[in-house]
Amino acid sequence: MGQQIPQYSQWYLNQFANNPAHAGIKKCVDIHTLYRLQWVGFEGAPRSGFLSVSIPLSSKRKKYLSARQGTGFKFETDQIGQFNSNRLSIAYAAHFNFNEDERLSLGLYGGVFQLGYNPIGFETSEPDPYAMTDGSIILPDASFGAWFNSEKYYLGLTLKNLIPIQWQSIGINSRNRIHGSIAGGYQAKINNYLSLNTASIMRIPPTGPLSIDLNLLLNLQDIISFGLGYRNTDAIISLLNIKIKNQFSISYSFDYTISKVQIGSSNTHELSLRYTTCNKKKTSAVNCPLFE
């Protein structure tokens, strides 16, 4: 009944990994990889990561509302205690420009989800043969995403785990459950060298409290950005992003745990790398709407 998908502190720098509507949204190939080491030292704590590639599809527009298209793929892995999962997803998205600055994008992820359970190192207070039996299943997987952006702001909606299939070999009372998220951000230009970026996301699990991230970042000459974030359920977040020759970037974030998990661990680390074929001189805020 709880959360079944990973969450990331650097979600706003890796939008395609969260929202399939970002497939091919830029007029260049975008490659991201990320690894998250959560609650260091806490036994069975999550270890998550992904590799994503977003690819634009060439198409000629006859008018603003004619769609430009994109594709891409994502491989994601997640391990929590005795459970490990892997997802391989292929994405398709269509992008509709209403004018030079405003765009609506709709996208789908489709693929497979592998979930495994290994009881090694696991103990129960009472003997339970079922809990000590390993298992593995492969299920179909699908997600839907919608995205709207102008030159200065964006809004996004994502629905994941859309196929509610039971985990027959893992637990007879367990199944995929839909997870939703709503994201938004705004860029405020201070001068020709500085901009202030806000970003927020509300994650909607099948049960339990909403998880809300609020982030504030200062961008210096589109080369270095740094800032702070707050997650209502768990952490205070600090982040640093550095661009190298426009096409490469490296990001690091540190989560300081403020929930009761702090008794066992106070630290979470996240590291990501990015490469894009975008050329800064040829790319506008409309083509790259993340205000990077």
Task: For residue 98, give the CATH number of its domain.
Answer: 2.40.160.40
Q: Does residue 77 lie within any of the structural domains?
A: yes
Query: 222 or 113, which is more confident?
Result: 113
DSSP-derived pairing of the beta strands 83-97 and 68-80: antiparallel
Instruction: Give residue-wise pLDDT tens across range 91-137.
Output: 999 999 888 788 999 999 999 999 888 777 777 777 766 666 777 88
Whether pLDDT at 21 is above 60: yes
Residue at 291 is within a domain: no
Q: Is residue 4 part of a domain?
A: no
Q: Name the residue among 38, 113, 28, 116 with its Cα closest to residue 74.
A: 113
With respect to residue 217, please indicate whether it lies within any of the assigned structural domains. Answer: yes
Those residues whose C-beta lies under 8 Å from the C-beta of residue 73, and which sit 6 or more positions away, are: 52, 53, 88, 89, 90, 91
CB 114 within 8 A of CB 137: yes
Q: According to the model, what pLDDT value does residue 151 have?
A: 87
Predicted TM-score (pTM) of this structure = 0.86
Q: Is residue 3 part of a domain?
A: no
Residue 289 lies in a domain: no
What is the number of domains present in the chain? 1
Q: Is the model more confident about 271 or about 100?
A: 271
Average pLDDT over residues 252-281: 88
Cβ(73)–Cβ(88) below 8 Å? yes
CA angle 216, 218, 224 (to 5 degrees): 130
Residue 129 domain-assigned (yes or no): yes
pLDDT at 289 over 80: no
